[in-house]
Amino acid sequence: MAFGRLERTKGSEPMYDINVTPMVDVMLVLVVIFILTAPLLASSIRLDLPKTDGAKPGDPPQFVTVAVDQAGQAFFNDKPVNAAELSVALQQAKLDNPDTEVQLRADQGVPYGRVVEVMGEAQKAGLNRIGFVAEAPAPAPGAAPPAAAGAPPAAGAAR
């Protein structure tokens, strides 16, 4: 019988790989934190601004409606007016807000000259922003809506 070393089984070798999963988790949390705090850092300048009456918040744009029906009757904000009353109302609108827009609605049967007269009254009052109001045409009966114009025909439709 020989004396010697007994063979031992090798134990597990140490792991040389780095476990990346916890590091990725930490990095993702940091990215989320930076994404949430970056907008706050950009506007964190504290200022004590001076006070003035000229720094009032802007009013929404104002407009008045002038309509002319087929008979040539003028309406200011849906109230019938004659030429003198229209002129006074437009001048008052100019005094209230110099940037007032005139939205002109005229029946298609109104002569062009009458529309120009109303525009002239607005311009004499100092209101140079004039918008013309129109309606979109109704689709023809049996016509496909514009969005479905390129769509394939429905089942059973004639080709």
The model's confidence at residue 37, banded by pLDDT at 50, 70 and 90, is confident
More confident residue, 102 or 15: 102
Look at the domain 61-132 and name its fold. Nucleotidyltransferase; domain 5 (3.30.420)
Does residue 83 surpass a pLDDT of 80? yes
Contact present, 110 and 75 (Cβ < 8 Å): no
User: How many CA atoms within 13 Å lie on the side-chain side of 71?
Assistant: 5
Does residue 45 surpass a pLDDT of 60? no
> How do residues 130-142 score in pLDDT, each as one tens digit?
988 888 777 777 7
pLDDT for the residue numbered 81: 92
Residue ranges per domain, the chain?
A: 61-132
The model's confidence at residue 159, banded by pLDDT at 50, 70 and 90, is very low
3-state secondary structure of 121: helix
Contact present, 89 and 74 (Cβ < 8 Å): no
The model's confidence at residue 53, banded by pLDDT at 50, 70 and 90, is low
pLDDT for the residue numbered 155: 45
CA 114/CA 73 separation, integer angstroms: 9
Does residue 17 surpass a pLDDT of 70? yes
Query: Which residues, 6+ apart, have CB-to-CB distance to 94 below 8 Å?
Result: 100, 125, 126, 127
DSSP 8-state symbol, 70: T
More confident residue, 71 or 159: 71
Question: How deeply is 12 buried, as exposed, middle or buried, from its count of CB atoms within 10 A (0-12, 13-18, 19+)?
Answer: exposed
pLDDT for the residue numbered 123: 92
The model's confidence at residue 29, banded by pLDDT at 50, 70 and 90, is very high
